[in-house]
Chain A
Amino acid sequence: MSIAITTQIICFSVLSLVILIGALGVVLLESIVYSAFLLGGVFMSVAGLYLLLNASFVAAAQVLVYVGAVNVLIIFAIMLVNKKEDLKPISDIKSRRIISTSICLTLLSLLIRVDLTNVWSLSSPQNSIGEESTIRIGEHLFSDYLLPFEVASVLLLMAMIGAIVLARRDVMSKDISTGLPVDQELIEKSSEPLLTNKN
């Protein structure tokens, strides 16, 4: 066995172990902050798996989007609203657990089916694209995957407009959760320089 293959096997087993343990930690840990940071670790390890598959562009994009944007936003949100609060016991916990378990099992069976039906082996090693993949991804995004690509951008635009409308209280005169008219004093108040009334 050559050194390159040994290194690959070691890297693969370490990465998969980190992914499995990290993902379990995300779900099972009590502290939400630890879960969020572990999620970042899981995303990084998935990027490592992409690197092992010679998909360096996808790996870098995974780090940039999932770790650099999604995970940072999650952590940001947790830190801004990190209230020490005891969660209320949920009444119908049993049925909820059954529903979520069945959804997860359905997804798992779908993935297993994909794994079994797809033909994974390339006809020859020369067919792997490696460093060329950046160009290929670009070509696909602007030809046969153009519509999904653009629709995703429309979705993001909608989410952004929604976030801005929610954040700007002068657009929404009523609070969404309570239904009370929003106190706009804080926003409307003009700021006065502190030193004008000194003399």
Chain B
Amino acid sequence: MEYGLDLEYSFNEFLKGFGLSSEIAHIIWLPLPMLLVLVAAVVGVLVTVWLERKISAAAQQRIGPEYAGALGVLQPIADGLKLLVKEDIIPDKADGILFTAGPVLVLVPVILSWLIVPFGQNLIISNVGIGIFLWIALSSIQPIGLLMSGYASNNKYSLLGGLRAAAQSISYEIPLALSVLAIVLMTNSLSTIDIVNQQNGAGILSWNIWRQPVGFIVFWICALAECERLPFDLPEAEEELVAGYQTEYAGMKFALFYLGSYINLILSALLVSILYLGGWGFPIPVEVIAKVLNLPINAPVIQVFTASIGIVMTVLKAYLLVFIAILLRWTTPRVRIDQLLDLGWKFLLPISLANLLLTAGLKLTFPQFFGG
């Protein structure tokens, strides 16, 4: 792959112009993409919170936030500021250290997982070889944080909520990993870049959703369960558990949970779009457009166009899925804990296993369509 625009290279050259050594330039470069992604994640959360408020209002025939900025767009910032200046309370009988470490352990793995989300061919923090497996491994740390905060709160609702969250997270991780495995089987690689590239041969027709319809549905259900979104928000079922493991939290520590759950939702939507909906790919391949316009694929105009369309497409697909998740939240009832575990272990697990077996069989029979 030719690199038409290499931001890192030009940035380093720019700093070297000031007489800095290449190592120092590299060290100054390193935090920049991470900072950018962190900012992108937080802005994504603000947008999602606003969408959640507006769409829920529309679903319930209300107006929703209206006065904070045009159409209430500043409402999420007001929410965030409120949480920022609230008193930070640690209950008297709670375990201070674990109580503080819990929310951090929930949030950090989610943000770390953004390492592997590509917004374009070269718009990724790190194309690590283990790619999508890193996300599966990191998301398995989260239940420890939930159990920790549930235990440290010293409150029966919190403990029950934490236990439920961990049980749910463990049961839905397995079908999730199995449906990812089917994709990896077709791609012959764990890297998210390779997974998207493999889908971008013929635009919308080569997206994985047509080859993995069952995997797509299983993955989406499991992703919703991992994010504790309704219909699977049992860990914080208000009517039974007050707020689950978050009951005793206030101020910034609560905000960490809040931020974590929304970043996780956006991350899951991004990963669904990367795994099944062609990632940064435009429904019509860029190569075809370049041919129609009679421009070489490496022309700067096409490069800028590809990069911007890549970001737009990734974000658009992700937010379409976020929209569906929000609609699901405000239109479906909550499942019971036994229904939840039944669905996970007796339905999704066998189906995803069968899907994996079928994918392997189809890969052997039709290697040209299923990545030989």
Contacts and interface: CB of A to CB of B under 8 A. Distances in A.
Interface string B109-148: 0000000000000000000111001101110110110011
Contacts of A56: 128-130, 134
B5 interface: no
B186 to A, nearest CB: 16
Interface of B: 23, 27, 98, 128-130, 133-134, 136-138, 140-141, 143-144, 147-148, 150-151, 159, 162-163, 166-167, 170, 173, 190
Interface stretch (A66-74, A93-101, A117-125): A66-74
18 contacts: A3-B27, A40-B144, A57-B129, A57-B133, A60-B130, A60-B134, A60-B136, A63-B138, A63-B141, A67-B141, A68-B137, A68-B143, A72-B143, A72-B166, A76-B166, A76-B167, A79-B147, A80-B163
Contact of A72 (B130, B133, B136, B144): B144
Contacts of A40: 144
Contacts of A44: 141
A171 B27 CA distance: 63
Given A33-B151, A76-B163, A67 B144 contact: yes
B147 A72 contact: yes
Contacts, number: 67
A12 interface: no
A68 B98 contact: no
Classify chain A's interface size.
Answer: 20 to 34
A75 interface: yes
Contacts of A3: 23, 27
Nearest to A54: B129
Nearest to B139: A68
Contacts of A130: 129
A90 B148 CA distance: 31
A76 B147 contact: yes
A106 interface: no
B140 A69 contact: yes
Nearest to A34: B98
A166 interface: no
**Is chain B's binding surface mostly helix, strand, loop or mixed?**
helix
A131 B129 contact: yes
A61 B130 CA distance: 10
Contact of B130 (A67, A71, A76, A134): A134
Nearest to A4: B23
B158 to A, nearest CB: 11
B129 A134 contact: yes
A116 B294 CA distance: 66
A3 B170 CA distance: 40
Given A64-B137, A68-B137, A79-B163, 20 more contacts: A3-B27, A37-B98, A40-B144, A56-B128, A56-B129, A56-B134, A57-B130, A60-B134, A63-B138, A63-B140, A64-B133, A64-B136, A64-B140, A67-B141, A68-B173, A72-B140, A72-B147, A75-B147, A76-B163, A79-B147
A68 B129 CA distance: 21
B105 to A, nearest CB: 9
A2 interface: yes
Contacts of B167: 76
A37 B148 contact: yes
Contacts of B147: 72, 75-76, 79
Interface in A39-96: 40, 44, 56-57, 60-61, 63-64, 67-69, 71-72, 75-76, 79-80
A96 B151 CA distance: 33
B23 A61 contact: no
Residue from A37, A57, A69, A131 having most chain B Cβ neighbours under 10 A = A37
Contacts of B143: 68, 72
Contacts of A60: 130, 133-134, 136-137
Contact of A2 (B23, B128, B136, B141): B23
B141 A68 contact: yes
A50 to B, nearest CB: 11
A71 B138 contact: no
Interface string A153-185: 000000000000000000000000000000000
B43 to A, nearest CB: 29
Given A33-B151, A56-B129, A72 B170 contact: yes
A134 B144 contact: no
A63 B163 contact: no
B145 to A, nearest CB: 10
Nearest to A7: B27
Contacts of B133: 57, 60, 64
A48 to B, nearest CB: 13
Contacts of A68: 137, 140-141, 143, 173
Contact of A71 (B129, B144, B162, B190): B144
A80 B163 CA distance: 9
Contacts of B23: 2-3
B254 to A, nearest CB: 21
A80 B167 CA distance: 12
A73 B368 CA distance: 42
